[in-house]
Structure 1
Amino acid sequence: MEMIVHNPAEGVYPATDDYAHAIEVRNPSRFLFVAGTMGLDSGGIPATTLEGQLDLIWRNLRVILAEAGMSVDNIVRLTSYLRDPSCAEANAKARMAALGGRRVPTTAIVAQTLAEGWLVEIEVMAAA
């Protein structure tokens, strides 16, 4: 499988350092679509801080990806649902750290979460 980042230099606004406009996936043998994953521990309890929830989200995503024989290196698309716009910067930093600086197409949406204590939820698409 080959992944090619596409960030046109003209005709569209420039991509920033934390995302890519598009990733072309050539010859994948399988795809994994991961539901929105929250910052809950194994007992279903959310961390009390945004940073704690982001740590749990990325730990949970690694476990889910590993179950499918994948890692964060297989993520080709990511959507973050943030309870408040103030969560955006920490979310972007956590994403870039989790992906080792690798940029993927991403969207952040501010939305009311189902429970007030849930500050962020992340869904991903992965390919192998």
Structure 2
Amino acid sequence: MELIPRNPTQGVYPATEDYVHAVEVRGAQRLLFISGTMGLDPSGRPGETLEDQLVLIWDNLHAILASADMTVDNIVRLTSYLRDASYAEANAAARVAALGGRVVPTTAIVAQTLSDDWLVEIEAIATA
């Protein structure tokens, strides 16, 4: 499988250093669509802080990816749903750290979650 970043510099606004406009995937045989994943521990309780929830989200994503014999290196698209716009910086930092600096197409949306205790929800697409 080959991942080719598509980040044009003309005709579109510039991407920031923590994402690319698009990734072309060649030779993939499997796609994994991951539901919105929250910062809940294995018993279903949310982390107490935003940072706790971001750690739990990425732990949960690791487990879901592993169930398909994948890792974060297989992620090709992320969407984050934030309860508050002020969470954007922490969310981006957690994403960059979790992906080891690898950039993927990403979108962050401010939205009301189903529970006030859920501060961030992240959905992903992975391929292998």
- Determine if the TM-score, normalized by the shorter chain, exceeds 0.5: yes
Partner Cα distance (2:88, 2:70) in 1 = 26
What TM-score results when the alignment is normalised by the length of structure 2?
A: 0.99
SS at match of 2:58: helix
Cα deviation 1:46-99 (Å, max 9, x = unaligned) = 001000000000000000000000000000000000000000000000000000
Q: Find the aligned partners of 2:113 and 2:66 in 1 and give their Cα distance.
A: 27
| Counterparts of 1:19 and 1:117, CA distance in 2 | 28
Q: Tell me the residue number matched to 1:120.
A: 120
Code of the aligned partner of 2:103: R
AA paired with 1:29? Q
How many residues in Structure 1 have an aligned counterpart in Structure 2?
A: 128
Partners of 1:42 and 1:62 lie apart in 2 by 13
Indicate the residue corresponding to 2:26 in structure 1: 26
- Which residue type is aligned with residue 6 of structure 1? R
Q: Separation in 1 of the partners of 2:9 and 2:116?
A: 41
2:102 aligns with 102
Which runs of structure 2 are paired with 1:75-86 in the superposition (5 Å)? 75-86=75-86
Unpaired stretches in structure 1, ≥5 consecutive residues: none
Report percent identity of matched pairs.
70
How well do the aligned residues superpose, as a CA RMSD in angstroms? 0.3
Deviation of 1:39 (Å) = 0.1
Name the TM-score, length of structure 1 as normaliser.
0.99
Question: In 1, distance between residues paired with 2:94 and 2:17?
Answer: 14
CA distance in 1, matches of 2:20, 2:11: 15
For 1:27 and 1:17, locate their aligned partners in 2 and report how far apart those are by CA, in whole Å: 26
* Moved segments of 4+, more than 6 Å: none
1:40-119 superposed matches below 5 A: 40-119=40-119
CA distance, structure 1, for counterparts of residue 20 and residue 9 of structure 2: 12
